[in-house]
Structure 1
Amino acid sequence: MRKMHLVAYMKTGPSASYPSTWRHPTATLDDLFEPTRWERIAQVLEAGFFDACFFADGLGVPDLYKGNFDDYVGRGGQLSLLDPMTLLPLMARVTSRLGLGATLSTTFHNPYNLARSLGSLDILSKGRVAWNVVTTAREFEAQNCGEEGLPPKDQRYDRADEILEACTALWEGWDEDALVLDKASGVFADPSKIRYAHYKGKHVASRGPLSIPRSPQGRPVIMQAGSSDRGRAFAARWAEMIFCSPATKSAALAYRTDIRARMDAIGRNPDECAVLPSFTVVLGETESIAKEKAAFIESQVDPELVIAAASWSVAADLSVIDDEGALVAQSGNQGVQGHRDRVMQVAKAKGISFAQAVRLPRDLVVGTPAQVADMMEDWFKSGAADGFILPPTVFPTTFEEVATMLVPELQRRGLFRTRYAAATLRGNLLDPG
Structure 2
Amino acid sequence: MPRQMHFIGFCIAGPNWHHNGSWRHDESDALDALNPARYENIARILESGKFDGLFFVDVLTLYDSFGQNFRANIRQPGQMFMLEPVQLLAAMARVTTHLGLAATMSTAFYHPFHIARTFATLDHISGGRAAWNIVTSANDREAQNFGLDRLMERGLRYDHAEEVLEACHALWNSWDEDALILDRENAIYADPDKVHYVDFEGRWVKTRGPLQTPRSPQGSPVLMQAGSSERGREFAARWGEVLFTLQHDKADMQAFHADIKARMQKYGRPPEHCAVLPAIDIVVGETESIAREKAEYLNSLVSPELGVAEIANHTGVDLSGYPLDEPLKDMEITQGSRGVFDVILRGSQSKNLTLRDAGRHYAISELTPQLVGTPQTIADRMQDLFESEACDGFVIVPSLTPSGYVQFVKSVVPELQRRGLYRTDYTGRTFRENLRS
What range is the shorter-chain TM-score in? over 0.9
Aligned to 1:327: 331
2:415: which partner in 1? Answer: 409
Q: AA paired with 1:58?
A: V
Q: Name the CA distance, whole Å, in 1 between partners of 2:228 and 2:406.
A: 31
2:156 aligned residue: 155
Q: Which amino acid aligns with 1:412?
A: R
Aligned residues of 2:303 and 2:360 also touching (Cα < 8 A): no
1:201-234 CA distances to partner (integer Å, 9 max, x unpaired)? Answer: 1011111100011111111000000111111111
Report the counterpart of residue 319 of structure 2 in structure 1. 318
Using the alignment, how far apart are the partners of 1:170 and 1:135 within structure 2? 20
Q: Using the TM superposition, give the Cα deviation of residue 337 of structure 1 relative to its aligned residue in structure 2, in angstroms.
A: 2.7
Could you list the per-position Cα deviations for residues 9-46 of structure 1 after superposition, in whole angstroms to 9, with x for gaps in the alignment?
A: 01111111111111111002443222221111111110
| Aligned ranges 1:324-363 → 2 under 5 Å | 327-328=331-332, 331-332=333-334, 334-352=335-353, 356-357=357-358, 360-361=361-362, 362=367, 363=369
8 Å CA contact 1:244–1:338 kept in 2: the answer is no
Residue matched to 1:184: 185
Normalising to structure 2: TM-score of the pair? Answer: 0.95
Taking a change above 3 Å as real, the CA distance of residues 227 and 324 of structure 1, as seen in their structure-2 partners, is farther
Match of 2:390 among 369, 373, 384: 384
Match of 2:176 in 1: 175
**Pair 1:349–1:414, CA change in 2 (3 A):** farther
Deviations 1:91-150 (A, max 9, x none): 000100000010000000100011001110111101101100000001111111111111
Does 2:424 align with 1:424? no
- State whether residues 128 and 424 of structure 1, in contact with CA within 8 Å, keep that contact through their aligned partners in structure 2: yes
Mind listing any 5+ residue stretches in structure 2 that lack a counterpart?
none
Q: Secondary structure, in 3 states, of the residue corresponding to 2:58?
A: coil
Residue of structure 2 in register with 1:221 after alignment: 222
Matching residue of 2:138: 137
Q: 1:356 Cα shift?
A: 4.8
Does the aligned pair in 2 maintain the 1:170–1:197 contact within 8 Å?
yes
Q: How much identity, in percent, do the aligned residues show?
A: 45
Over 3 Å counting, the alpha-carbon distance change for 1:353 and 1:268 in structure 2 is farther
Distance 1:138 1:359, change over 3 A: farther
What TM-score do you get using the length of structure 1 for normalisation?
0.96
The answer as to 2:377 corresponding to 1:371 is yes
Q: Do residues 306 (structure 1) and 307 (structure 2) align?
A: yes
- The 2-side partners of 1:291 and 1:113 are apart by 47
**CA distance, structure 1, for counterparts of residue 287 and residue 224 of structure 2:** 35
Structure 1 vs Structure 2 CA RMSD: 1.5
8 Å CA contact 1:347–1:357 kept in 2: the answer is yes
Greater CA drift, 259-268 or 90-99: 259-268
Give the partner amino acid of 1:327: M
- For 1:50-69, list aligned pairs within 5 A: 50-69=51-70
CA distance in 1, matches of 2:270, 2:356: 40
Contact 2:139–2:316 (CA under 8 A) maintained in structure 1: yes
**8 A contact 2:66–2:313 mirrored in 1:** yes
Which residue of the partner structure matches residue 293 of structure 1? 294
Aligned partners of 2:82, 2:398: CA distance in 1, in Å?
Answer: 17
Q: Is 1:12 matched up with 2:13?
A: yes
Q: How does 1:78-227 map to 2 (within 5 A)?
A: 78-227=79-228
Segments of 5+ residues of structure 1 without an aligned counterpart are: none
- The residue number in structure 1 matching 2:261 is 260
SS in 2 for 1:275: strand
Q: Cα–Cα, structure 1 residues 35 and 93, in superposed 2: closer, same or farther, change >3 Å?
A: same
One-letter amino acid of the counterpart of residue 206, structure 1: T
**Alignment partner, residue 250 of structure 1:** 251
Q: 2-side partners of 1:408 and 1:148: how far apart?
A: 51
SS of the counterpart of 2:159?
helix
Once the two structures are superposed, residues 217-255 of structure 1 have per-residue CA deviations (whole angstroms, 9 ceiling, x without a partner) of 111000000111111111111000000110111111111
Runs of 4 or more consecutive aligned structure 1 residues displaced over 6 Å after TM superposition: 322-326
TM superposition shift of 1:338: 2.8
- For residues 158-212 of structure 1, the C-alpha deviation after alignment (integer angstroms, 9 at most, x for no partner) is 1100010000010011111110010001111011111111111101111110001
Question: Aligned equivalents of 1:325 and 1:149: distance in 2?
Answer: 27
Q: Deviations over 1:68-90 (max 9, x none)?
A: 11011111111011111110111
Q: Structure 2 counterpart of 1:405, which letter?
A: S
Assess if the C-alpha contact under 8 Å between 1:246 and 1:345 holds in 2: no
Using the TM superposition, give the Cα deviation of residue 265 of structure 1 relative to its aligned residue in structure 2, in angstroms: 2.2
Distance in 2, matches of 1:355 and 1:17, equals 17
| Mapped contact 1:137–1:150 kept (Cα < 8 A) | yes
Q: Is the 8 A contact 1:138 1:335 kept in 2?
A: yes
Residues 98 and 129 in structure 2, CA contact (< 8 A), matched pair in contact too: yes
8 Å CA contact 2:308, 2:358 repeated in 1? no
Give, as a single letter, the amino acid of the residue that structure 1 aligns with 2:375.
Answer: P
For the 8 Å contact 1:11–1:55, the answer to whether it is kept is: yes
Count of residue pairs brought into register by the alignment: 428
In structure 2, the CA distance between the partners of 1:348 and 1:414, relative to structure 1 (3 Å rule), is: farther
Which residue in 2 is equivalent to 1:44?
A: 45
Deviation at 1:341, TM superposition (A): 2.4
